[in-house]
Chains A and B, each alone.
Chain A
Amino acid sequence: MESLATFILTKYNYWAVIILLVIGLYAMIAKKNLVKKIIGMNIFQTAIILFYVSIGTKRGATLPIIEHAYGDSAHAVHAADYINPLPHVLMLTAIVVSVATLGVALALAMKIHAQYGTLEEDEIQEKIMESEPGSTSTSG
């Protein structure tokens, strides 16, 4: 029982990842405002980035910059002394992609506000229903 508790408690980074994923998913599904949905999408993305960076950490390791790299001739690099930099580099791309999706999403939200005069999803749905009298769809 003791070992199970320590096993759960020492993985606190991953618990934080799960909580942040749930916060982002809740905001994307349950919130009616479009900007709140976009904020939820960004929280979801940063939670995934946090998961990948957590994978790369090691206990007792230092930054992934090789010491005495130039000038010293042949020496072995002890990989256990350095944090794994591969997830960092992958997530660098993910951050840039996330700000690009944020820009596109906010531009679409601004066009929707210019068309319908509101950012609330249910009010937009009502205005679409009013503009199309023959439609009987109740989706959303």
Chain B
Amino acid sequence: MGLALIVGLLGLLILFHAAYSTIQYRGLLKITEEEFSGPPFDVVIELFLGLLLCFWAALTAPGKFLSIHPHSEDNRIVSLPANLDFMIFNHRGKAFPVEMDLKLRQ
């Protein structure tokens, strides 16, 4: 998650730098009075690199897909605590209330 965000930011920075280079190139063309047919080759490479980094970040950053099958491995473990019918409060854990107090004080 953190890594993907950093990679995405890096890709954005590269894109901004490519934009800046293109602006400078346009300024140069204005002086030499030539027509603009496309950004220079190294800027195209830079754009492609930035796009690639952002592509990877966009696919990785939002998290993992979760299986929708009710019988799959992931859903079996999660489904028991999520079901309120299976919550039990009348167990031997209530014999140790001290630890709860300690947590609350800290």
Partners in one complex: no
